[in-house]
Amino acid sequence: MAERSFVEEVKKLRAGEGDVFKGEGILAITKALLQSGVSYVGGYQGSPISHLMDVLNDAQDILGELGVHFEASGSEATAAAMLSASINYPLRGAVTWKSTVGTNVASDALSNLASAGVTGGAMVIVGEDYGEGSSIMQERSYAFAMKAQMWLLDPRPNLTSIVDMVEKGFELSEASNTPIFYMMRIRGCHVTGEFEARANVAPAFSNKTPVVPFREPEKIILPPFVYAQEREKIAQRLPAAVDFIKTQRLNEVFPGRYEQLGIITCGGSYNTVIRALERQGLADVYGTSEIPIYCLNVAYPLIPDELVEFCVGKRQVLVLEEGQPEYIEQGIQTILRRRDVQTRVFGKDIMPMAGEYTGQVMLQGVTTFIEACPGEPIPLRLGASAVAALETPVSDEDIAELMVSLPPRPAGLCTGCPERPLFSAIKQLQAELGPFHISSDIGCHSFATAAPFNLGNTIMGYGLSLASSSGVRHALPHKAISIMGDGGFWHNGLTSGVTSAVFNGHDGLLIVIDNGYSAATGGQDIPSLVEPNLIATTLDAKRPKREQWQPIEDACRGAGVKWLRTVSTYNIEAMKETLRAALSSDEPGLKVIIAEGECMLNRQRRIKPMIKQAINSGKRVEKARFYIDPETCTGDHGCIRISGCPSLTIKENPDPLRLDPVSYVDNSCVGCGVCGTNAHSAVLCPSFARINVVHNPNGWDRLLDRVRRGVRGWFGRREQRRLERSSL
């Protein structure tokens, strides 16, 4: 059950010929896949394409009706390997992942796929996680396309272009027997708009109409075929692709009256170029431009004839591609020099090498480019210095003051997150035992590397924390500590980490955080399940179990782990003791602690409707939330420093003498109890209280409550009189 449900939206996927489809980019791509007659789809979630996986998951009815096979792949490598179905058979298939991380994981299968070549259209939809909002290291997928020879589509970010390019992409793949990268940028994935739909097409081959198995030995990745495949890439597939792209006009030329200039842009940046030109009075809002534009909806390969035709006769062109190195610019230079075209090429000499081409960056680049053109100046609304001044209207002094005042808002663990108490426990243990070196991993738990926990030294990749501790473990004063999520464990950690560690006699500690979901990517299901924790409410039906589930514990035992403990993260004392035991154990071999606690976001989504229904139907339900006594709180905020819970905040001190704010639990509290347990475990203060509200109380509840209130009230009135006597 993913964080966002697309159950309503996927109904749009049934849109027929000529219907206007309105929605998000991700949904449009799914519709385009169905319009293309795709036979199988798969992938691994991760922003910005997590929702594509969620949409596919929620669209299984429609997929099933058409005979489209869907798999939530175990990793990107799993997904890439699926595409082998298109090697021998005319099956169209698409897989998706976050790039470049996912492409790196998938690279083995992708290279082999690209070498063998495909019969049916094979498409990898990569969410290019580059620029603001990204969560990974900054690299381009372009390099992989070049070295493995896969074509890279980068359509203009409007829904019509996005959908058309999916369909054309499959045709291109088949025409050139080459798998395709279809690149979506972060903002493009989430862009909304509309397009005219076409009817869905059932795949030619599926469980309804199976293929006849046959072999093509020359497509197997073994010598001597691999040499022939390499030659075929150059001799047949590339020319076929260039020919298809040219005849089908996949790239677009937009003419303009200033023919001495030209802009060559990747499709994904086209809208930003038009806006920059519009602001300079050189384009209108419908995209009519006075500067000619050559738009590369196919970013790789480049089409020499089209480039030469566009550049011939121009004094200068500007090449717009985000990131580094400037592969496209280099390619264009090579093509122009070989044909002896003397047009000057501007690119990364005036554009930034690193980072996105945002509105401001684009406006600056385009302005510099136009002003650099010799001859009669082209009138611009804003000169280069005026554009530079737009960067910020704020004076230096004011910026300085604001920078001091504005609090950073790093991503952190959610309210009630089961990982918080684990890190509280580790932090408390670190205070006792001295500084830890911790190998961290990808997932929500990587936020522990930031304030307030500041735990973790390196992140090497998804499921690679244990592997990454293997080189440093002999040089550490304590047993090596690696932290991995359940998502990472299944993605890669079991094989690259646990199996290898056991084999090599690694005697460190692996903490597997078992929250039951691939939580950081939006709460998708994973092979293992987690037992629901009975916290904060007396009501919690068992999480529905799948027929087949694969416990982490069994997997570890199967891989040879002997020292294995499962501890609820919410039990901080038990966790501290187990950690201590693991770190001081004389037993040889890997120690694995499965730190168990259901993802609170998912848990809340699961139990909130249940609680509401139970209360409305008159069932007795207890619900907890926490409270900090503002009179006993002294405003030291130690409770926040070992927790960082979003619901644990500060507010004005009610005591007229105290100046520092008191800690305060706001309304978002889900009653997980970590702050109270921390107050216990770290011996903080007596200010924490858990309030249990009893909904639909029974007779006994009412009676007991009445008696208690009566007694407390009697003492309360006495205390009130004393307070009055001791007032001034």
Q: Considering only residues 318 through 357, tell me which ones interact with other proteins, judged by CB under 8 A.
A: 356
Listed residue (200, 202, 159, 158) closest to 11, CA to CA: 200
Helix (H) or strand (E) holding 651: strand 648-651
| Residue choice 360, 457, 500, 538 for contact with other proteins (CB under 8 A) | 360
The residues in 553-592 that bind other proteins, with binding defined as CB under 8 A, are 573
How many binding residues for other proteins (CB under 8 A)? 131
* Residue nearer to other proteins on the CB measure, 173 or 428: 428
Considering only the stretches 53-61, 70-78, 207-215, 683-691, report the one whose residues sit in contact with other proteins under the rule CB under 8 A: 683-691
* Residue nearer to other proteins on the CB measure, 43 or 48: 48
* Residue nearer to other proteins on the CB measure, 37 or 630: 630
| Residue choice 14, 22, 348, 605 for contact with other proteins (CB under 8 A) | 22
| Residue choice 447, 489, 490, 517 for contact with other proteins (CB under 8 A) | 447
Residue 616 as a binder of other proteins (CB under 8 A): the answer is: no
Between β-strands 180-185 and 192-196, what pairing exists: parallel, antiparallel or unpaired?
unpaired
Q: How far is the CB of 175 from other proteins (least distance, A)?
A: 29
How far is Cα 334 from Cα 396, in angstroms, rounded to an integer? 44
The residues in 456-495 that bind other proteins, with binding defined as CB under 8 A, are none
Q: How far is the CB of 410 from other proteins (least distance, A)?
A: 6
Q: How far is CA 70 from the centre of its chain?
A: 20
| Residue choice 178, 271, 428, 518 for contact with other proteins (CB under 8 A) | 271
Between β-strands 69-72 and 93-99, what pairing exists: parallel, antiparallel or unpaired?
unpaired
Query: If you write DSSP's letter for every residue of 379-443 in order, what string do you get?
Result: P-SS-HHHHHHHT--S-HHHHHHHHHHSPP----PPTT-THHHHHHHHHHHHHHH-PPPEEE-SS
Q: What residue spans of 129-259 are helical by DSSP H? A: 142-148, 159-176, 186-189, 225-232, 238-247
Site string for other proteins, 31-70 (x = CB under 8 A): ----------------xx----------------------
Residue 134 as a binder of other proteins (CB under 8 A): the answer is: yes
Listed residue (129, 132, 121) closest to 104, CA to CA: 129
Considering only the stretches 33-41, 64-72, 156-164, 533-541, report the one whose residues sit in contact with other proteins under the rule CB under 8 A: 156-164
* Residue nearer to other proteins on the CB measure, 383 or 588: 383
- Residue 713 burial by CB count (10 A; 0-12/13-18/19+): exposed, middle or buried? exposed
Dihedral sign from CA coordinates of 456, 461, 465, 469:
negative
Q: How far is CA 6 from CA 72, 241, 269, 628, in A?
A: 16, 36, 28, 39
Cβ(504)–Cβ(491) under 8 Å?
no
Q: What is the dihedral of CA 448, 449, 452, 455, to 10 degrees?
A: 90
Enumerate residues 6+ apart whose C-beta is below 8 A from 284.
Answer: 278
Site string for other proteins, 370-409 (x = CB under 8 A): --------------------xxxxx---xx-xxx-xxxxx
Enumerate residues 6+ apart whose C-beta is below 8 A from 406.
Answer: none
Residue 622 as a binder of other proteins (CB under 8 A): the answer is: yes
The residues in 685-714 that bind other proteins, with binding defined as CB under 8 A, are 685-686, 688-695, 697, 701-702, 704-705, 707-709, 711-712
Q: What is the dihedral of CA 201, 202, 203, 209, to 10 degrees?
A: -160
Residue 193 as a binder of other proteins (CB under 8 A): the answer is: yes
- Reading the block at residue 658, the tokens are 């105290």
* Residue nearer to other proteins on the CB measure, 145 or 442: 442
* Residue nearer to other proteins on the CB measure, 344 or 658: 658
* Residue nearer to other proteins on the CB measure, 222 or 659: 659
Residue 7 as a binder of other proteins (CB under 8 A): the answer is: no
Cβ(254)–Cβ(295) under 8 Å?
yes
| Residue choice 304, 355, 359, 551 for contact with other proteins (CB under 8 A) | 359
> Within a 10 A sphere around the Cβ of 405, how many other Cβ atoms?
7
Q: How far is the CB of 158 from other proteins (least distance, A)?
A: 7
- Reading the block at residue 395, the tokens are 């004076």
Listed residue (128, 118, 327) closest to 241, CA to CA: 118
* Residue nearer to other proteins on the CB measure, 160 or 457: 160
The residues in 202-261 that bind other proteins, with binding defined as CB under 8 A, are none
The residues in 498-557 that bind other proteins, with binding defined as CB under 8 A, are 520
| Residue choice 167, 232, 252, 278 for contact with other proteins (CB under 8 A) | 278
Residue 423 as a binder of other proteins (CB under 8 A): the answer is: no
* Residue nearer to other proteins on the CB measure, 107 or 538: 538
Q: How far is the CB of 583 from other proteins (least distance, A)?
A: 21
The residues in 643-672 that bind other proteins, with binding defined as CB under 8 A, are 644, 646, 648-650, 656-661, 665, 667-668
